């Protein structure tokens, strides 16, 4: 029979675990930190006879990190379990999980700040290395999900700490994949290393897929610069604040200036060819719905099919669920498209609810008003992929998605989101959420479609649409547009966002003098705008043939 251990409280010590000669890590001849099973067992036996809660609880953390329950002989495992019981190891594990909750929130918020950019961020719980990943955003970059392990990371981070090294901006090459990575260890005074935040950037995706395609460059920056609301706060120093009030527009890093430009040579050449070959634009040729236009014929035809499906649910009472799922990156005009579809039909009650901004009561009230309307309702639930950890959004929506079947109502729902790279990716993201499968069961595959990012031709057609519309509104009809103006609109990344492009174009029209029917390059800018001067220099070098030449435009 095994001899009962002495109560560790009868003899106590207060040293840190690192101060004992049996500290269970050693450094080999190559300078690598390794776990010592022999020292670990000696430490366990010591703390079963001599009390030291601080050191013993850190030892429990190390035991869990190094999977001693799975790798040690049975006698040593029994001894370790006795230590675990004596020093309340369960509370150590629970305490560490609670400690990492805020890091999980940090990872979530940072990840949500940069959607669809090929940047993965996650947090490891290194007290449970076999199921280390406890929070992850954009896991599609590496294919990892919650619960993936990180069994080698503990010793690697301990080795780097021993050598006073940071694991910052390192490269990983795995087969054909290449990543830029940073790993930030999380240390606690009482337990030592307990976790890590990791940032992984898909280098080949950015270099080979994004940088070689002007449309994707624009989409990348749309996602990088995406905002959800505006605040009135000052984050500038006093001097920078004064400079901003006097017209300073941005900070320019000299490293960026050295490699600046409007895009790759091939993308720039394609833009020049497209605009240079335009003599006239009849906007109706590109129409999808109302004022929403698309230049690419394949994209346009797909969206016309989606428009027809949505309209058919509004023009006749089918008694079926008329629910649609639409994916599109921020700035592609998803909201505008649905708004214009509603505007084409007389008597349609249009309701727009943004799931990132409304609470449960407002969501329920908006949907209730829609299904109780005396006329057909088109309801857009924007950012349907927001609030990923909350159950109430989909629980609230589900009864309304059944309203046509269960309550003989006449309503069409369009659920719009931007997760992933396609409607399929959006559906997969929704499926993982509480009640997500139930929500998807009410949006059949034929009713799922994508609004692809704006290309150069789309930027031109959207701008011309705004020029014509705003010109009519202010009594200054636009008949011709200078090609140099179109070149600026197509070459400026932030204007690939449909909303920003529309606002920019409307301001330009208001600068056109009364009686002038031409919109010129100069009308794009206010007096003294430094961006005008900077772009003008480059355009005269690369696209001088577009200056003073015009495109005839008509609805």
Q: Per-residue pLDDT averaged across 170-176, rounded?
A: 86
The answer to whether 208 touches 224, Cβ cutoff 8 Å, is no
Question: Residue 413: is its pLDDT beyond 70?
Answer: yes
Q: Pick from 32, 111, 33: which is nearest to 429 by CA?
A: 111
Question: Residue 362: is its pLDDT beyond 90?
Answer: yes
The answer to whether 413 touches 324, Cβ cutoff 8 Å, is yes
The answer to whether 142 touches 124, Cβ cutoff 8 Å, is no
The share of the chain scoring above pLDDT 70, in percent, equals 94
Question: Residue 288: is its pLDDT beyond 90?
Answer: yes
Q: Phi-psi bin for 303: left (phi > 0), alpha (psi -120 to 50), beta?
A: alpha
Tokens of 70: 């799975």
Q: Pick from 276, 539, 274, 333: which is nearest to 454 by CA?
A: 333
Question: Residue 208: is its pLDDT beyond 90?
Answer: no
Q: What is the CA 45 to chain-centroid distance, rounded?
A: 50
Q: What is the pTM of this model?
A: 0.52
Residue 466's pLDDT band (cuts 50, 70, 90): confident
Cα 38 from Cα 490, distance rounded (Å): 67
Domains, the chain, ordered by start: 8-87 (no CATH), 101-207 (3.30.450.20), 265-283+455-554 (no CATH), 297-451 (3.40.50.300)
Q: What is the pLDDT of residues 387-410, one digit of tens each?
A: 887 889 999 999 999 999 988 899
The answer to whether 257 touches 303, Cβ cutoff 8 Å, is no
**Mean of the per-residue pLDDT values of the chain:** 87
Q: What is the pLDDT of residues 264-276, one digit of tens each?
A: 555 677 788 888 8
Please report the pLDDT score of residue 245 as a whole number.
80
353 phi and psi, to 5 degrees? -130, 125
Cα 531 from Cα 511, distance rounded (Å): 17
Cα 449 from Cα 441, distance rounded (Å): 16
Tokens 């109706």 found at: 284
The answer to whether 353 touches 366, Cβ cutoff 8 Å, is yes
């Amino acid at each position: 029979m095994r001899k009962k251990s002495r109560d560790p409280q009868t003899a106590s010590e207060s040293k840190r675990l690192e101060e004992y000669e049996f500290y269970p890590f050693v450094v080999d001849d190559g300078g690598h930190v390794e776990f010592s099973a022999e020292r670990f067992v000696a430490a366990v036996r010591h703390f079963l006879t001599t009390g030291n809660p601080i050191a013993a609880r850190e030892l429990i953390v190390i035991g869990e990190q190094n999977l001693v329950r799975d790798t040690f002989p049975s006698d040593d495992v029994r001894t370790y379990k006795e230590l675990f019981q004596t020093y309340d190891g369960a509370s150590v594990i629970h305490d560490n999980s609670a400690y990492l909750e805020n890091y999980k929130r940090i990872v979530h918020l940072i990840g949500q700040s940069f959607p669809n950019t090929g940047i993965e961020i996650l947090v490891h719980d290194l007290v449970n290395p076999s199921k280390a990943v406890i929070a992850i955003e954009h896991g599609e970059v590496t294919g990892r999900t919650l619960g993936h392990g990180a069994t080698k990371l503990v010793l690697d981070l301990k080795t780097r700490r021993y050598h006073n090294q940071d694991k910052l901006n390192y490269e990983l090459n795995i087969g054909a994949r290449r990543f830029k990575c940073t790993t930030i260890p999380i240390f606690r005074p009482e337990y030592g290393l307990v976790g890590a935040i990791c940032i992984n950037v898909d280098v080949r995706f950015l270099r080979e897929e994004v940088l070689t395609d002007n449309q994707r460059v624009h989409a990348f920056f749309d996602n990088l610069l995406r905002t959800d609301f505006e605040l009135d706060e000052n984050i500038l120093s006093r001097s920078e604040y004064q400079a901003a009030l006097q017209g300073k527009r941005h900070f320019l890093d000299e490293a960026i200036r050295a490699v600046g430009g409007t895009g790759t040579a091939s993308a720039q050449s394609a833009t020049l060819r497209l605009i240079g070959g335009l003599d006239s634009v009849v906007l109706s040729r590109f129409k999808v719905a109302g004022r929403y236009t698309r230049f690419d014929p394949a994209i346009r035809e797909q969206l016309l099919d989606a428009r027809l499906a949505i309209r058919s649910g509004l023009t006749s009472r089918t008694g079926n669920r008329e629910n649609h799922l639409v994916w599109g990156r921020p700035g592609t005009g998803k909201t505008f498209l649905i708004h214009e579809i509603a505007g084409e039909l007389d008597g349609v009650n249009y309701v727009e609810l943004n799931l990132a901004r409304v609470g449960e009561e407002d969501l329920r009230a908006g949907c209730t008003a829609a299904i109780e309307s005396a006329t057909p309702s088109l309801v857009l639930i924007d950012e349907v992929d927001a609030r990923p950890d909350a159950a109430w959004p989909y629980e609230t929506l589900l009864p309304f998605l059944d309203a046509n079947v269960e309550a003989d109502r006449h309503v069409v729902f369009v659920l719009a989101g931007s997760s992933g790279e396609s409607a399929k990716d959006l559906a997969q993201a929704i499926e993982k959420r509480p009640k997500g499968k139930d929500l998807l069961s009410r949006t059949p595959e034929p009713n799922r479609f994508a609004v692809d990012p704006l290309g150069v031709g789309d930027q031109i057609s959207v701008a011309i649409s705004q020029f014509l519309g705003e010109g009519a509104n202010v009594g200054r009809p636009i008949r011709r547009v200078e090609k140099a103006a179109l070149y600026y609109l197509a070459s400026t990344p932030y204007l690939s966002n449909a909303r920003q492009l529309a606002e920019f174009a409307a301001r330009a029209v208001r600068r056109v003098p009364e009686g002038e029917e031409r919109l010129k390059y100069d009308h794009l800018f206010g007096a003294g705008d430094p961006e005008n001067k900077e772009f003008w220099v480059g355009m005269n070098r690369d696209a001088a043939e577009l200056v003073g030449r015009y495109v005839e435009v008509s609805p």
